[in-house]
Chain A
Amino acid sequence: MTSSGQRLALAIAGVLRRAWADAGPPIVPVDVDLARWVERLIEGGVAGLAWWRLRTTELATRPELEPLRAAFQHHALTAARQERDLPHLLGHFNAVGIEPLLFKGWSLARLYPHRALRPFGDFDLLVHEAEAERARAVLRSLGADLQSRADVDTATTLARYLPDRTEAELFDRARPETLDGARFWTLAPEDHLRLVTLHQLHHGAWRPLWLCDVALMVESLPPGFDWTLCLGGDARLSEGVLASVALAHELLGAALPQGTPVVTVPGWLRRAVFHGWVHGYESMPPSLYELRKLGWAGALKAIRARWPDPVSATVHLRAPFRAIPRPAVQMAECVRRAADFVRRDLRWRVGLDAQLATVGKGVVP
């Protein structure tokens, strides 16, 4: 990473460091490009949190920071709307005998000291596999607006983050809650911390908001939090959980409760997270199916853009967080993706041939 990129990443970490607590004015490097800094904070989902920290400082009067204030105000309004609608949404599920389990978004937002600090676009709802179709039907019946603000997941769809937790385990350990008379569940803190840390690694940890969530969660762990339970399951993924917690402590100043297993943050992970914070999510270039149309230069560019980031590559392959150099893990992930692409391509072609054959047999007169 360039020195200006490094400065920008440090400035992002600087403003977010204990921003949820009364941490006093942040130290912002004088040579950082304010407009770019603000843009990265907005993209990273932490504009509200940054404004919260900066609002009483002299820096807050700078016109470059106006978008942070606007984002803070916007988050306040959308959060109020979500809070108003949640009991209504849950009530409709309850009416058909479903008590969904809320995770991520809303259940993380309530850990923050102000509702405008943690934006969330939708309610993440986990239901039993057997209830999924009914739950989706309930959502559809509520109209497009509410439907677009809620997602129904099952343990199967959540397995991309928690492959080592069964539906029974998640629901058996869940905690019941009520909100304005509506009944719902929340994940056990041990499962939720595992989910939140692995979710951010799965997506390359490019959003600083996700690391703030980890910091807030760690600081809010209840007495008697069972680390053995949280770290049970796939040992490589558990390494990722601990690395995320250590990163939240190191970069954001999260206070680790007594008994938290302490690990050192691998250097590559810190660099990769900084890279993600500075460059954001890099959307996929044209599909590999269009390679022939792209020409050599375009094809090379498309392939290069698919070079996996080290964080998600490590988690997808369940590679160790230490010992192996990251380029080797990234290369292995690249090979896995290429094999997956070829397999998909073949299956697609075979499927297409079968469809064409059906049409050829005169199904359509």
Chain B
Amino acid sequence: MAPSSGFVPRRRPTGILVEQLEGEVLLYVEPTHRAFCLNPAAARVWESIDGARDVSSIARTAGLDSELVGSTLRELGEAGLLVEVPDLPRVDLSRRRLVRAGLVAIPLILAITVPRAAEAASACTVGLPSGPACTPTRPCCSGICNESLGTCG
């Protein structure tokens, strides 16, 4: 953990993919294959990180409370998005309740989790080039196996 006083956050220099989508910022951490969605307030914090600004400067730039920014930076660090995880206090808020109440200025970092099926193109991979070879004990979904090649017909 990095010390909190005068902490200057730095974004992880490689392995992060950023995508803007409908007012939100989506981040994909390639080494861990984890994805996150930043709401507009958290996105402002993320975009203010330039490797020179400290917490209070980021708070001013993003138009947010320093305490909230500190907590957001800690979360960003824990998500693997920063070079260091800052030792900054968490703000204990019932975020779901606040969001429901319409307090959208609270920075939110949400992990994007989807079932694997949403990603896969085909669930049946035995005997296909991407999947294991078909064998007498591991038959093809189609039932047709070319054993010499290990591919399905």
In the complex, 26 of the A-B residue pairs with CB atoms within 8 angstroms, ordered by the A residue number, are A42-B115, A42-B117, A42-B118, A43-B115, A45-B121, A47-B118, A67-B114, A70-B112, A73-B26, A73-B35, A73-B112, A76-B21, A77-B27, A77-B112, A120-B121, A148-B130, A157-B151, A160-B151, A202-B142, A203-B122, A207-B122, A283-B124, A284-B139, A287-B138, A336-B143, A347-B147
Residue in B closest to A78 when the chains form the complex, CB atoms = B119
| Partner pick for A203 among B17, B138, B141, B145, CB 8 A cutoff | B141
- The answer to whether B129 and A116 have CB atoms under 8 Å apart is no
From 273 to 318 in chain A, residues with beta carbon under 8 angstroms from any chain B beta carbon are 280-281, 283-284, 287-289, 306, 308, 312, 316
Give B79 Cβ to nearest chain A Cβ, in Å: 14
Contacts of A151 in B (CB 8 A): 128-130
| Partner pick for B114 among A47, A312, A333, A347, CB 8 A cutoff | A47
With A152-B129, A289-B137, A312-B142 as given contacts, are A73 and B119 in contact (CB-CB < 8 Å)? no
Contacts A73-B35, A119-B119, A121-B130 aside, 12 further interface pairs with beta carbons under 8 A come to A71-B118, A73-B112, A78-B28, A151-B129, A157-B149, A160-B142, A160-B153, A203-B124, A280-B123, A306-B143, A316-B143, A348-B136
Contacts of B35 in A (CB 8 A): 73-74, 77
How many chain B residues sit at the interface, stated as a range, is: 35 or more
From 96 to 125 in chain B, residues with beta carbon under 8 angstroms from any chain A beta carbon are 112-115, 117-124
How many chain A residues sit at the interface, stated as a range, is: 35 or more
- The answer to whether A153 and B129 have CB atoms under 8 Å apart is yes
What 0/1 readout, one digit per residue, does chain A (104-123) give for beta carbons within 8 Å of chain B? 11000000000010011110
- The answer to whether B145 and A344 have CB atoms under 8 Å apart is yes
With A73-B37, A289-B136 as given contacts, are A81 and B17 in contact (CB-CB < 8 Å)? yes
| Partner pick for A74 among B119, B142, B153, CB 8 A cutoff | B119
Q: Closest 5 A-B residue pairs measured CB to CB?
A: A337-B143, A348-B136, A77-B28, A151-B129, A71-B118
